[in-house]
Amino acid sequence: MSKQSSLPWITPAGRETPARERLSVDAIVDAAYVVLNREGHEKLSMRAVAAELGVAVSSLYTHVANKDELIRQIWLRSFLASEVPEPTSDPEEWARRLRTWMHSIRDTLREHRDLARVSAGQHPFIPEALPQLERIIAFFRSVGLPEPIIAAAGDHMSTFIEGYVSEEQVWEERMRRLTPTERENVAESVAHYFGDLDPDDYPNLTDIGPTLMVHAEKDERFDRGIEILIRGFMSYL
């Protein structure tokens, strides 16, 4: 870099690096993602992000109004990254594309620890998100869904996926705190938990209680969940 007038192999006293590598919103969001992945959403603080960048906390506020806006930026990046499927008027093909789209959203939320919890409650009405929103509406419209349903469909989809992944990660967090031997016996202790109930008091729970909690075949549950939604959507065609 030619920022310094002194010769490059002579560093000015008291200054290790040329420094003043300019910050940017992008760099800040990058760092926030790193912190989020490594430490989880509870540890995602302005100080942690600043430390990740090797920068003072107060410097962040030149580029980002506050923590809420930083979180909105994090959400925005993942929202824009999602590949909205191409429109189609064939219901079967439409449902197939919707399914794989929902899977891909779930997967990106899964990849980044706690991104789901951070994303929940964000609205896609800010200007930067409009092109993506346009594509989403185009897709929902293409199969011939009535307009009032389209508005509900998008919300429904995102709240379901975010809620699902959040819950999944809460569960994983809880598992992470267990000892290895405890972890192995989870299925067993779940069975006991419901098995010990008095069948007279809890006829239904003793019956199907365990299936409520078994998160082993997680993907099955997700698939069943989105199938309920898709059937609901398709009933309006």
List interacting residues with its own copies (CB under 8 A): 117, 120-121, 123, 125, 130-131, 133-134, 137-138, 141, 147-156, 159-160, 162-164, 166-167, 170, 193, 197, 201-205, 208-209, 211-213, 220-221, 224-225, 227-233, 235-236
d(CA 53, CA 28): 8
| Minimum distance from residue 8 beta carbon to its own copies (Å) | 47
* Structure-token match 């997967």, residue found: 107
30, 41, 55, 96: which one contacts DNA (CB under 7 A)?
Answer: 55
Specify burial of residue 106 (Cβ count, 10 A radius: 0-12, 13-18, 19+).
Answer: buried
Residues 6+ apart with CB under 8 A from 168: 110, 215, 218
Does 38 bind DNA (CB under 7 A)? Our answer is no
Helices and strands in the chain: count of H runs, count of E runs: 12, 0
**What kind and span of H or E run contains 103?**
helix 91-111
Does 10 bind DNA (CB under 7 A)? Our answer is no
| Minimum distance from residue 186 beta carbon to its own copies (Å) | 13
Does 48 bind DNA (CB under 7 A)? Our answer is yes
Taking residue 63's Cβ as centre, other Cβ atoms within 10 Å add up to: 17
Residue 107 vs 220, nearer CB to its own copies: 220
Tell me the two tokens of residue 103. 């899977």
25, 37, 68, 134: which one contacts DNA (CB under 7 A)?
Answer: 68
Q: Please report, as ranges, the residues that interact with DNA according to CB under 7 A.
A: 3-5, 12, 15, 18-23, 43-48, 55-59, 61-63, 66-68
